[in-house]
Each structure stands twice: as C-alpha cells, then as structure tokens.
Structure 1
C-alpha cells in the first residue's frame, strides 16, 4: 500500500512538472508571437501616391483596383491571425489586377508592374503564414510592396506624359508611309507565295 501511494505521488509530481514545462513553453510562444505582432503592426502601412488627374479619371471606374487598394489600406488591429486573413484577401484581389486593366493602361509595361506587385504580395502571404514568422523578411516585403505600388503609379504617369509630347512635323505622314510600305511588302510576299504554289501545282499536273 505504501508503495502504491508513493507511486501515485511520484506520478502526480511528474505530471505537474510536465504541465509546468508545457505552460512555460506556451507562455514563451505567446510572448514571441506578441512581439512579432507588434513589430508587424508598426510597419504595416501601405502608401498609394497622389495620382495626376488623368490617371484618377482613368482608374475611377476600375473597381478591382479600388477593392485592392481599400483592402490593403485597412490595417488589422487584433492579432497575427487578423494579419494572415488580411493578406490572404489582398492576395486574391491582386490576382485579377493584370487581367482587368483599363484600356488606356492595357500595355505590357503596366501589366508587368502589376504582375510584379502581385508576386511581392504572394511572397508576403507565404512568409506571414509560416509557423515561425520571419518578421524582418515580412517588414522588408512591406517596403518592397510600397515600392511596387509607387512603380505602378509612375508607369501610369508615363503613359500620359508620352501622350502629351507633341509629334514632330511630318511624323504622322512618315508613320503612314511606313505602314503603307509594310502593307505593300506583305502583299508582294503573298503574291510570290501564291505564284510559287501555282507553279508547283502546274508541275504536278504535267507529271
């Protein structure tokens, strides 16, 4: 009986010790997550530059960009989980940006910028969902995303800057002449190909 009591007491002490260790580890993990949360929270700020009037008018009805912008600017306030859910939603919004671009901005340079922006957001989504979040990498990506957003606006500005540059006298005539030459050459090449086909057909018939 004494041995049984001693065994139960020992088992209880071991269980208490294990529980104490688990509780201590849980507290340390919670403290670590809180530090990461506070670090990310301080740096979580996304800046959208003031656009020129022409750009604003062009993107005014682009609901995908407006939804993306609004989603990204709404800062989570409660926990790391809130940040994880936020960037997951932003990532979904970013997927459609390069596929639904206003006609004025539907050019390779702009679409390339939007794809790069989406790639950075995808990276942030990946890192912030890791078991051990690399806060320095997350903070760095926030800065990189801001740079990409700035780059998108710069590219939009360039579209209108190039449009505003006056063409040299005779430039339109030169462009039309080049187009006419290209068209003539194309027709000439098509005629040569057609003649060759006809000659080949005649040769086969003769045989």
Structure 2
C-alpha cells in the first residue's frame, strides 16, 4: 500500500507533463499561424480613398463619421493580429452611422445603398477576423471588397454632382410646370367627382 501513493503521484505528474506539452505544442502552432495571418493581412491592408470632385471633397471633409472611418482604415496596425482585430471592431462600430449621417446634398437612395453595402462588408470582416480559426483568404477578399465599396461611394457622389451640373434643355422647366398644372387639375377634378358621389349617397340615405 505504501508504494501505491508514490506510484499514483508519479503517474499524475507524468500525465500532467504530457498535457502541458500538448497544450504548449498547440499554443505554438496557433501562435505561428496567427503570425503568418498577421503578416499576410499587413501586406493587403491598403485602403484607397479616391480623389473626388471639389463639391464632393468639400462635403466629405465636413462629414465627421466618414473622416473617422477614413483615418482608422488608413492607419495600419504594426504590432499583432490582436491590433487588427481591435481596429476592425472599432471601424465596425462607427460604420453603422454612415447611412444616417450622409451630407444632405448626397442623401439619396443610391448613395445610402452604397453606404449600407459598405457597412455590411465591414461587419463581415469584423466577424471573420474574430473567429478562432481565421479564414485568411476570406479576410483578404473582404478587404478588397471594402475597397471597391469605398470607390463606389465616391463614384455615386460624383454622379450626383455631374447630374446637377447638366443644364436643362430649353423649355424643359415650362413643360415640367405644365405637367404639374395638369396633374393638379386632374386631381381636383377627381376630388370633385368623389365629393359629388358622396353627396348623392348622403341625399339618397336621407330620402
């Protein structure tokens, strides 16, 4: 019996050492993999904000929410994968407000739609980069897609400026006013018909 206790302690120690070795080996593997992912993301972390028309540039410069995200994306983390994860989380939290704070002159469905799509891509990047087993290829793809959406936002805003600058053809404004007048007259006529019908029904009911 006296030999059983030391034997039990020895076995427990051996098993514990074996478990520690496995944990250390697994931890080393994860660390190496994360280092490789960090290096690859560092290579691809390049966000381009295109040059835009002066009117767009002026509006964007005063758009605080956009400027914050722009600064975040242009600053590349240099320390670790965790730094990238924190960066993306921060951008993700800020991107929710983009479609709600877009400058009035560009507050149209087409621009808001682009901003919503951009926000969705950023949310996806936030999800994938925080997975325990990070899908490196998917993360890189999303970085490229976010770049495309940023470009799309600028393109859409430039189109708004271009359309506003196109002069109306001669007589176009007169035609628009005439059409509006016709629509109003038609609506008034329809309202009178409905009113007459209601009055007739009322009279018939009284009889």
Q: TM-score, normalized by length of structure 2?
A: 0.93
| Partner Cα separation in structure 2 for residue 141 and residue 188 of structure 1 | 56
| Partner Cα separation in structure 2 for residue 88 and residue 33 of structure 1 | 18
Q: Check 1:199–1:83 CA distance in 2 against 1; reply closer, same or farther (3 A cut).
A: same
Deviations 1:19-75 (A, max 9, x none): 112111111111111111111121111110011111112223211111121122222
**How far is 1:77 from its partner?**
1.8
Q: Check 1:170–1:17 CA distance in 2 against 1; reply closer, same or farther (3 A cut).
A: same
**How far is 1:133 from its partner?**
0.7
Find the counterpart in structure 1 of residue 65 from structure 2. Answer: 64
Find the counterpart in structure 2 of residue 108 from structure 1. Answer: 109
Q: Check 1:55–1:8 CA distance in 2 against 1; reply closer, same or farther (3 A cut).
A: same
| Partner Cα separation in structure 2 for residue 14 and residue 119 of structure 1 | 48
**How far is 1:116 from its partner?**
0.8
**How far is 1:203 from its partner?**
1.4
Runs of 4+ in 1 over 4 A off after TM superposition: none
**How far is 1:2 from its partner?**
4.2
Alignment root-mean-square deviation, CA:
1.4
Deviations 1:104-153 (A, max 9, x none): 10111111111111111111111111111101000000000000000000
Alignment size in residue pairs: 206
Farther-moved stretch of structure 1 (146-155 vs 73-82): 73-82
Find the counterpart in structure 1 of residue 121 from structure 2. Answer: 120
Farther-moved stretch of structure 1 (149-158 vs 86-95): 86-95
Runs of 5+ unmatched residues, structure 2: none
Find the counterpart in structure 2 of residue 144 from structure 1. Answer: 145
Runs of 5+ unmatched residues, structure 1: none
Q: TM-score, normalized by length of structure 1?
A: 0.93
Q: Are residue 189 (structure 1) and residue 204 (structure 2) matched?
A: no
